[in-house]
Structure 1
Amino acid sequence: MSYFNELNQAVGEPLPDWKPRPLPQRVTLRGRTCYLEPLTLDHAEALFAAYQLFPDDGHWTWLPREPDKTIEDYKRWVESVITINDPLLFTVMDNKTDQPVGTLSLMHIDPENGTIEVGHVHYSPLLEKTIMATEAQWLLMNYAFETLGYRRYEWKCNSCNEPSRKAALRLGFQYEGRFRQAAVVKGHNRDTDWFSIIDKEWPAINQAFRQWLSPDNFDQDGKQKQSLQACRK
């Protein structure tokens, strides 16, 4: 649908009831397989140990920082970010063990325009390719759309990061384009790919997540019966 002003010029959809959205808070978000809680120094040792389960440092390649070589280095980084509101970092906690298994954040938070981004996604081998990995993403999306009422939820990644690109599409994000030479990271050019979900798309995406996350969608070995993409269709 097209909209026009009194001069017969094309304008965007009117939003007469729009109000700036609340800032995200340090809350706990609970799911069936995992829960998110604000990153604290108490999580540092378990997270560092979980990341050491990787056979090499490949999981650091597309993160903005270099790998932490010691627990002291990692603790210093945690201390430097736990009081920051943007990015607002959360720890993914395994419901079965109550142990930290990864982190992610809300960032580039723009309450005036209702836009917010998920980022700093750093999953350990205890989290990768599990139901928890998907549920953690859904918990944060659901908080942004349902609780806070944001209009736009973004995902951005290095264009070379094919696993991240595939993850965004699997989760229901729409590819929007590539920002060429967007940054210099670790001495290399970074082209940045942009993805988003908007509020009009969220109800159908949310329903698919709920269908996929249902215990009925998994057999006794934890294997999915329907993929997340199939649930969206």
Structure 2
Amino acid sequence: MTRYVFPPHQAASLFVAGTDERFPVRRVYCVGRNYAGHAREMGSDPNREPPFFFSKPGDADGVIAVAAGTTAELPFPSRTSNFHHECELVVAIGKGGADIAVADAPDHIYGYAVGFDMTRRDLQGQMKDAGRPWEIGKAFDHSAPVGVLHPAAQVAGIGRAAIRLQVDGATKQEGRIDDMIWSIAETIANLSTLFTLQPGDLIFTGTPEGVGAVQRGQLLQGHVDGLTELAVRYV
């Protein structure tokens, strides 16, 4: 038996629709500026930019699993005065692989969920201006709330689903999954040339335009057709 200096850190896991099983999380990858409207609002040219990736913590302090019908109350992050919402479709990998072909990518998907790529935009901007990594803007505690995971076989038409985020009932982000510059399959294929994907990996696939500041106490509700809604409040 392995003896640890202190108890191992808790692994993150997601609720799975229709079962009492949990999906264990390994790594969290995020696609940057994968919707043309969001790329433009962030000052980029969506016609020329290839996909790029960054990561978030995959532990239980970074990935926050939110059960159906509940609202997660999370601590408002430190050292930011411009805290932003980004509603995204999250793809959960169920079969690993490297250099995955686009045509084979759907076979590697376990399921889908709604997620928020929360961002300390002011800190991210400071790092970008200085040519430094984005971690302090993206990879902080409670930065990746994720709703209930739905097995892919139970979700029809996800590639054409509507995606929407509301703040205190007002719609702030709205689009469709087929508005992505790089499709779900293309994203998996491209990412697998950089990292060997493994079961338990999550991919945040990008956000539509309309990202904006979140104030303490506001209710965030994320929706993707066919999936359980995600509700979060930072207090």
Report the TM-score when normalising by structure 1.
0.26
Higher relative contact order, chain-length normalized (CA < 8 Å, sep 6+): 2
Which of the pair is proportionally richer in helix? 1
Question: Which of these two proteins has the greater Rg computed from alpha carbons?
Answer: 1
